[in-house]
């Protein structure tokens, strides 16, 4: 597992283009978290990729017009594959909220 941190201007479609670079390669996306930074946005992805795909993704992301910076993080252990974050709200909580 490899984590990627991509900073981008939050213009129309930019996040989708970032995600599409992974999905067009048939990569599962067990973790995706997009958040607003100070003046820009950042998305963190954890992907199961080989070395060749890392290079391809890195360059393809960087070719997107509103991507500012692409960084690759550390290689993660199998811990990331055990669940499917983000799971801030459990199904039970959702059910409870729906019933309320």
Partner 1 sequence: MLKGADIVLQCLRAEGVDLVFGYPGGAIMPLYDALDGSGVRHVLTRHEQGAVFAAEGYARVTGKVGVAMATSGPGATNLVTGIADAKMDSVPLVCITGQVRSALIGTDAFQETDVFGVTLSLTKWSRLVRNIDEIPEVIAEGFHWARSGRPGPVVIDIPTDMLKAKKEFSGPVKFTPHARPADAKAEGGFTDTVVALLQQSLKPVALVGAGAKLSGAIPELRRLLDTLNVPTFATVHGLGAVVPEASYYLGMVGMHGTRAANMALHETDLLLVFGARLDDRVTGDPSRFAPHAKIVHFEIDPAQLDRVRPCEIPVIGDLAETIPAFESELKRHKVPDFGGWRSVACGADRAELDPRGLAQPTIRFLDELFSRLPEDSVILADVGQHQMWAAQRFNSGSPRGFITSGGLGAMGFALPAAVGVQLAKPDTCVLCVSGDGGFQMNIQELATVHRLGLPVKMVIIDNKYLGMVRQWQQLFYERNYAETDLSDNPDFVDIAKAYKIHSFRMKEDVMREFPVSQETGDQIDRFLRSPDPELLVFDCAPEANVFPMVPAGAALSEMLLEEEPTQ
**Quick one: 52 or 99, whose CB is closer to partner 1?**
52
Under 8 Å between Cβ of 70 and 3: no
**Quick one: 56 or 81, whose CB is closer to partner 1?**
56
**Quick one: 27 or 68, whose CB is closer to partner 1?**
68
Nearest approach, Cβ of 70 to partner 1 (angstroms)? 8
Nearest approach, Cβ of 8 to partner 1 (angstroms)? 10
Through-space distance between the first and last CA atoms of the chain, rounded to whole angstroms: 39
- For 85, residues 6+ apart whose C-beta sits below 8 A from its C-beta are 30, 31, 33
**Quick one: 37 or 55, whose CB is closer to partner 1?**
55
Nearest approach, Cβ of 63 to partner 1 (angstroms)? 4
DSSP 42-89: EEEEEE---HHHHHHHHHHHHTSTTEEEEEEEEEP-GGGGSS-S--SS
- Interface residues with partner 1 (CB under 8 A)? 9, 12-13, 16-17, 20, 24, 52, 55-56, 59-60, 62-63, 65-69
């Amino acid at each position: 597992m490899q984590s990627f941190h991509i900073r981008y201007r939050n213009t129309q479609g930019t996040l989708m283009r970032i995600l599409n670079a992974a999905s067009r390669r048939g990569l599962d996306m067990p973790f995706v978290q997009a958040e607003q930074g100070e003046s820009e946005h950042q998305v963190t992805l954890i992907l199961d990729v080989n070395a060749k795909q890392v290079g391809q993704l890195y360059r393809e992301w960087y070719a997107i017009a509103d991507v500012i910076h692409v960084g690759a993080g550390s290689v993660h252990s199998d811990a990331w594959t055990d669940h499917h974050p983000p799971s801030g709200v459990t199904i039970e909580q959702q059910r409870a909220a729906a019933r309320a």
